A and B are shown apart, each in its own frame.
Chain A
Amino acid sequence: VIERILVANRGEIARRIIRTARRMGIETVLAAHEVDVGSKAAEEADALVPLQADSAVAAYLDGAQMVRVALDRRCDAVHPGYGFLSENASFAQQVTRAGLTWIGPQAELIDLMGDKIRARAFASRCDVPLVPSASGENDAEIVRAAEDIGYPVLVKAAAGGGGKGMKIARGPGELLAVIAIARSEARRYFGDDRVYVEKLISQPRHIEVQVLGDSHGNVVHLGERECSIQRRFQKIIEEAPAPSFDDHLRARICEAAVAIARESGYVNAGTVEFVVGNDGGFHFLEMNTRLQVEHPVTELVTGLDLVEWQIRVARGERLAFTQQDIPARGHAIECRVYAEDAACGFVPSIGRIERYVEPSGEGIRVDAGVQEGDEVTSFFDPMLAKLVVWAGSRQGAIELAERALRDYCFIGPKTNIGFLRAILDHPVFARGEVDTGFIDLHGAALDAVVAEKTELDPQVAAVLAALSIPEARLPRNPLAHLGAWRN
């Protein structure tokens, strides 16, 4: 049984976990750093425990403290969300050793899939195609390996993920420098500077498959997600199902994901990521052993609550459905709202959220981590919220997302809302002809549309502003007063 869950995370995903736990009659304890004690998640959790730490990020990475809090507060399970400790195998182990239920896959699988080199070897044993790649004991070996693979190559961190520590080398001349940067990033983010090189697939699509396994040997997939719209290797728009995607390819890629999960004896929710070339070939990229940021699009098309199933399989339940029972209805799109300046290289933007009004209506879901009055800081990832929509068709979903974003009011830090709208509005996106190069290729066209969609007519704006300024109200004798101005 699980009666009380420690939520070892913050922001929107903490709220997401709390929401489902509450619906299932499970209490939640939120461990939060002091910068988050006034957050919406803190307000919604049944109990709040302040974390002691030197920095806000350190608080959420302090596994030992999380376990202590869970035991002190008599929690019986820990949900790590995504990021932070979610893919930390030793934390999963600590949780289990403390007699708590870990709401996630087995520690040894987190470990296996967390090592990109071992994970690839595993996928290969499951007959899942890989992107040609090679590693080496030292830089010279890696350079030789790159020659065999052929340029351009991608230099990636062995312990990487989330696009961090990933760099392109277009030719042998720049490879050594790129390896040095990738190693330094990998050391900083993952404490492990091993890197490997991978063939760069041209015009690749990033497609991933949601899988779910129980502890009775059942594994299903919940269909694929299209995640090609990325900036700086990070996803900003995801959808389910993937548009313009061949049914035969869809079946094969989903089967490949299930094969990896089944062979590994995977229990809980996970995601197998693939890169699909413009020749229709697909290759294993990595497996993420956690709930993904973009899980809501899968929830909207399948009607399944992934957090609920994470909890249910963690407490030993069997999946209540077989592969054939899982529906795939309509189309869902997620837009990640970031505090960033899309016009200036997507640099994060910080500051107080002065006004915050969410869109609402049928088919619109907002998973937000922030509320009006919150201070957006540079401590954390600048994602503010996820706008997720569902409609019967992809066209309908695009229109609904566009409208919902138009109605999404953020006054404070700059956001990428206008940029997201420009993407939704782009004819190439509308045709579903997406690949990971979309934003680079169409950047200038997108920027132009952003300006057109986000600039308010100055006269209308001034009128609206004037209406709200008490000092601008005319006194008793308006005409005499107005006469004072001569331009």
Chain B
Amino acid sequence: LDVILESSAERMPVAVGINTVYIGQSAVRVGDVQYASSAVSATVDGCRWFAQIVRRGDRVTVWAEGRCWEASVLILPSQGTVDAGTDRDCIVALMPGSVLQVHVGAGDSVRAGQPIVTMESMKMQMSLDAQMDGVIALIHVQPGSTVDKGDILVEFEQQA
């Protein structure tokens, strides 16, 4: 997941699925979504809303029936493996922050989806998971390490 909405009150990871929008921990039922040139209408939890939405840079403003809401949209690079130029794949930091936990040791075999590193960034924890089955080759960080977006955290070899 790679989009976060940050309003003055809270920060919420978001994802849009079929008939459901995931906002933070909650799944909200959404139906009959229609897009006009500049507007969105949708049934949210059984209520019909007609909204005007303006996005300018990283700011989004939602207007619906005289009510307004504003947030920043943080878009993180898609989580994925980065080809380091060898036969090794890497897990990279998706945002600047610090490493909370490293769940594996060099030489460990891991399964796709298994958590490898937990990071904290902007008061939010994020688990970086293995994208495929493999063996951990190198670990570049330890709990407490400060990393920049794009830094290689862990390299692993894909299992043939």
A binding-site residues for B, Cβ under 8 Å? 354-355, 357, 405-411, 417-418, 421, 453-456, 458-469, 471-474, 478, 480-487
Contacts and interface: CB of A to CB of B under 8 A. Distances in A.
B141 interface: no
Contact of B63 (A409, A462, A472, A482): A409
> Which 7 residue pairs are nearest across A and B when measured between Cβ atoms?
A461-B69, A456-B67, A406-B66, A456-B69, A466-B14, A472-B3, A354-B54
B106 interface: no
B10 interface: yes
Q: Which residue among A458, A465, A483, A484 has the maximum number of chain B CB atoms within 10 Å of its CB?
A: A465
20 contacts: A410-B63, A421-B66, A453-B66, A456-B64, A456-B67, A459-B26, A460-B45, A461-B62, A462-B21, A462-B23, A464-B40, A464-B64, A468-B35, A468-B53, A469-B3, A481-B1, A481-B15, A481-B79, A484-B79, A484-B127
Interface stretch (B82-90, B118-126, B142-150, B152-160): B118-126
B60 A417 contact: no
Nearest to B33: A467
A472 B61 contact: no
Given A355-B52, A453-B66, A456-B67, A471 B3 contact: yes
A257 to B, nearest CB: 37
Q: Which residue among B7, B25, B60, B126 has the maximum number of chain A CB atoms within 10 Å of its CB?
A: B60
Given A460-B44, A482-B22, A485-B13, 18 more contacts: A406-B65, A454-B66, A458-B7, A458-B69, A461-B7, A462-B69, A463-B21, A466-B15, A468-B53, A469-B3, A481-B79, A482-B15, A483-B113, A484-B129, A485-B1, A486-B118, A487-B25, A487-B125
Q: Tell me what chain A mostly uses at the interface: helix, strand, loop, or mixed.
A: helix
Interface in B15-63: 15-17, 21-26, 28, 30, 33, 35, 38, 40, 42, 44-45, 47, 49, 51-56, 60-63
A419 to B, nearest CB: 12
Contacts of A406: 65-66
A34 B55 CA distance: 28
B9 to A, nearest CB: 6
Given A462-B5, A480-B113, A469 B23 contact: no
A78 B42 CA distance: 50
Contacts of B64: 456, 460-461, 464
Contact of A483 (B14, B21, B129): B129
A410 B49 CA distance: 17
B75 to A, nearest CB: 5
B128 interface: yes
A475 to B, nearest CB: 8
B2 A471 contact: yes
Nearest to B13: A485
A408 to B, nearest CB: 7
Given A458-B10, A472-B16, A482-B1, A405 B66 contact: yes
B30 to A, nearest CB: 6
